[in-house]
Amino acid sequence: MFKCCCFFNISLCVFQVTLFEQRNFAGRRLDLTSDCQKLSEKNFPDRCNSVQVESGAWVAYEHENFRGRQYLWDMFDRGEYNCSDRWCAQGDHISSVRAVKQDNNPPRAQLFERAAFSGKKTELHDDIPNLMSRYSLNRVSSVRVMGGT
């Protein structure tokens, strides 16, 4: 069952994943519903050999603080990964996990003529193949992304 309403409002989304220390969903387990930058702080070993994704999509990282090799866990094949080979891991070392969140707001960015978001400003809402032909900006030195994916 997919419990995510992310398509409409990211704050309504319920993410859930269960990590298992051993293959075939055995051994110590850890249930997560939010990002975890250090699995060790949850008293879970840095070895993860199987995963059950209940909802959402997740990225697992080899090292703490979302660093190192990345592995995607999602609802494909019912979200069941009975061994680390199923997510093409080079080992069983997982130290942090993050939910994949999607921003469905319309894309929006601000271009600034000078560094530090100063000078003449132009706001974009769609693709622009040639800035010079559409806007009178001679150069862009800073960009602020306001939303969208």
Domain locations along the chain = 10-99, 108-147
Domain 10-99 in CATH 2.60.20.10? The answer is: yes
pLDDT tier for residue 30 given thresholds of 50, 70 and 90? very high
Which residues, 6 or more positions from 104, have their beta carbon under 8 angstroms from its beta carbon? 6, 7, 8, 10, 149
Average pLDDT taken over every residue of the chain: 86
- 101 pLDDT above the threshold of 90: no
pLDDT tier for residue 106 given thresholds of 50, 70 and 90? confident
Window from 61-70, 71-80, 87-96 with minimum mean pLDDT? 71-80
Mean pLDDT of 70-89: 90
Q: What is the DSSP letter of 66?
A: T
pLDDT tens string 11-29: 456 899 999 999 999 999 9
CA 43 to chain centre: 23
CA distance 135 to 60: 42
- Closest among 142, 68, 118, 133 to 98, alpha carbons compared: 68
- Closest among 62, 48, 43, 63 to 17, alpha carbons compared: 48
- The structure's pTM equals 0.65
Q: What pLDDT is recorded for position 4?
A: 41
CB atoms within 10 A of CB 27: 15
- Closest among 72, 57, 67, 74 to 95, alpha carbons compared: 67
